[in-house]
Amino acid sequence: MRILVTYAVQGEFTELKFPGLIGEDEVQVGYLRTGVGKVKSAFYLSEVIHQGQPDLVVNVGTAGAIHHQVGTVLVCRHFVDRDMQKLTDLGVDYEIDSTELLAKRGYCLHWEGEGVCNTGDTFLTELSEVQGDVVDMEAYAQALVCRAKNVPFISVKYVTDIIGQNSVKHWEDKLADARKELGEFFETLGGVVKS
């Protein structure tokens, strides 16, 4: 099994361990730093999927929140594009749910801590009406690419900051905690497929 782990910036990089699956010799894990924002993220992920044909894409990173505490880890299978959401009157699709393809392949079904990730091309520093549990700048774009390429996608986010409370400073201060907690989260999962 080939798993591609994506992250936006070097400060979010966490080496993850996925135990081998039953009947599988090994799990190969590759990493992709996508850069910040939807366009870069979509472009680089599309290129790597075309070249490497992963079986699963796992986006790992940090996020801001309104209703969750710093240190919360959320598993996201539902994604909202807050930039396109503004165009709903024009019939623009702005939501993706990756649950069906994950379930079809039997991947990540036992990963708990469900959340909705809201993606946009701005780093939110002030409270606004946001649909979802966490906000980031890449996950929706990656979910879109994976849906188009028929590759299962899931995102795991560590809440580093509360929107409206000095978000940029708190994000920078919490990167080391995020790497540690995300690493520990994946160690306790027992893999992609529950044995």
Tens-digit pLDDT profile for residues 11-62: 889 888 776 555 556 788 999 999 999 999 999 999 999 999 999 999 999 9
**Spatial contact of 68 and 74, defined as CB atoms under 8 Å apart:** yes
Q: CA angle, corner 132, sides to 71 and 64, nearest 5?
A: 35
Tens-digit pLDDT profile for residues 63-111: 988 889 989 999 999 999 988 877 777 777 889 999 999 999 999 999 9
Residue 56 burial by CB count (10 A; 0-12/13-18/19+): exposed, middle or buried?
Answer: buried
pTM: 0.90
pLDDT band at 187 (very low <50, low <70, confident <90, very high): confident
**Spatial contact of 34 and 8, defined as CB atoms under 8 Å apart:** yes
In the numeric block, which tokens belong to residue 159? 């809440």
- Domains plus CATH for the chain? 2-189 (3.40.50.1580)
Residues 6+ away with beta carbon under 8 Å from 107: 55, 56, 152, 154, 192, 193
- Judged by DSSP in three states, 191 sits in coil
